[in-house]
Amino acid sequence: MRLQTKPNDTRPARDAWGEEPAVGARVLRRTLRFAACVVALAGLVGCSAGLAGHSPAAIRARGELVILTRNAPTSYYEEHDEPTGPEYDMARAFARYLGVKAKFVVLDSTAEILQALRAGRGDVAAAGLTRTRARRADFLFGPTYQQVRQQVVCRRGGKRPRSVADLPDTQLVVAADSSYVERLTALKRSYPKLRWRTDPERSSEELLEAVWRRTIECTVADSSIVAINRRYYPELIVAFDLTKPQPLAWAMPRTDRALQRAVDKWFAGYRRSGALAQTLNKYYGYIRLFNYVDTSVFLRRIRTRLPRFRAIFERAAHDAKLDWPLLAAQSYQESHWNPRAVSPTGVRGIMMLTLHTARELNVKSRLNARQSIFGGARYLAQLRARLPKSIREPDRTWFALAAYNIGLGHIRDARALARRLGRNPNRWSSVAQVMPLLARERYYRTLKHGYARGGEPVQYVNRIRNYRNLLQHHLAAAGSEPRMYGEVQSR
């Protein structure tokens, strides 16, 4: 078994619920470089014996909350040498609510996590765990924070079962000791010929890749995992749902109801404050945009078009203190990396600058790729600098991108409307819900800059986040880590 422990988090709390500014939508399926040690379970340093109690009082006396998790884009991973992930954000916030440090113990599989929790070697298991009937017999669970479906996933052009009745004729491989095994076992009572193979070595993410590589025909994975990974492997298809929506929740040792009550109370506040919605939007908000053709074309153009402009993006981003994959993603959204692109409204070039903006930026020719990229980077940096200091990263970058698309005046209107409607004007996820209202007369007639197609910048930002994420994954897989010049993620 591989154990990875991460340093305690000593950064200060932001508010009563442990909330702090989001660190960016950075859901990546990538190879993680952790310093791992392979040892027998009985010899794990600091884990060879159960913790001395898991109540909030015991945790405070110990000074740290021990969180069991796993490496996955839906739980915990590293990006640019910084830990991130939805479970990481939530667990760290809960630790701050308790007034202690967060210690993350990263294990290889759900089975190892549950085994360690059962042995008392952690306080909380935060790893995208489904709250199943069998697991409720062994553990306490916190509130539901997300709903997922188990989905049968195959590859385009290959085997495609339509229902459970077709599965006996399908090579089906699933992660061992998973909720999928529990579900398939229950279905076997009605479908005696149903069969599958469990893989104790590979995770759901790895099995999805195996389906894509055609080494197995089909697997089962949670819909949240599928949604992220089919963007990297666009030939994956969902054959059918194996379950109705199922709850994800944190698991805790069976003996500590005081900890369960503390988790329940904290989650209620975390949800009520909007922090839970912010976290889920941060990691999943842009993933719904999956389009097979668009994703396939983008991945192909990373290989065929981007190399011509990559050095320019890197230099321009460096000078403007931006993230070059973000700048490249924005350019793709604008022009599909076509330096001679022209729109019916008169904007043109690889960054689709207006004539007025180009003149202000001293861009002599908008059809010159170098001039356009440097001009667009300066313009985006200027917009970001003009935003109020109360807007923190990564929201600051999302607001700047929206302003690039629709204008800073409409962004100010949207923030004012968000404040009027009781939403947080400094969070992009909150303002994005308000933006479409700029097209409704009831609202826009009360705003300084009037009517705007407010839904467009929301889609614009989401698509850029999606392209950036796909590009970063491609670079990581190719062993070409993007150098980060900007502060898209907070520190």
List residues with catalytic annotation: 334
d(CA 277, CA 359): 41
CATH 3.40.190.10 assigned to 150-243: yes
Pairing of strands 246-248, 124-125: unpaired
**How would residue 194 be classed by pLDDT, with cut points 50, 70 and 90?**
very high
Long-range CB pairs of 355-361, under 8 A, 24+ apart, other chains included: none
pLDDT at 482: 53
Q: pLDDT tens-digit profile of 327-355?
A: 999 999 999 999 999 886 678 999 999 99
d(CA 75, CA 126): 7
Which tokens go with 277? 């919605």
pLDDT at 234: 86
Tell me what the mean pLDDT of segment 55-83 comes to.
Answer: 88
Average pLDDT of the chain, as a whole number: 86
**Which residue would you say has higher pLDDT here, 29 or 271?**
271
pLDDT at 340: 94
Q: What is the number of other CB atoms lying within 10 angstroms of the CB of residue 476? A: 18
Amino acid code (one letter) for 181: V
Tell me what the mean pLDDT of segment 206-227 comes to.
Answer: 94
Tell me what the mean pLDDT of segment 138-142 comes to.
Answer: 96
pLDDT at 44: 38
pLDDT at 53: 87
Domain range summary for the chain, segments of one domain joined by +: 2-142+250-284, 150-243, 292-477
**Which residue would you say has higher pLDDT here, 75 or 27?**
75
C-alpha triplet 444, 445, 450: angle, nearest 5°: 55
Tell me what the mean pLDDT of segment 432-442 comes to.
Answer: 89
* Residues contacting 223, CB < 8 A, separation 6+: 148, 149, 150, 151, 238, 241
Residue 236 has pLDDT above 90, yes or no: yes
**How would residue 35 be classed by pLDDT, with cut points 50, 70 and 90?**
very low
pLDDT at 488: 44
pLDDT at 43: 37
Residue 10 has pLDDT above 60, yes or no: no
* Residues contacting 362, CB < 8 A, separation 6+: 375
Residue 11 has pLDDT above 70, yes or no: no
Q: pLDDT tens-digit profile of 276-325?
A: 998 998 888 767 666 677 888 999 999 999 999 999 999 999 999 999 99
CATH 3.40.50.720 assigned to 2-142+250-284: no
What is the CATH class of 292-477? mainly alpha
Residue 33 has pLDDT above 50, yes or no: no
Tell me what the mean pLDDT of segment 168-175 comes to.
Answer: 95
pLDDT at 390: 97
| Domains 150-243 and 292-477 fall in the same CATH topology | no
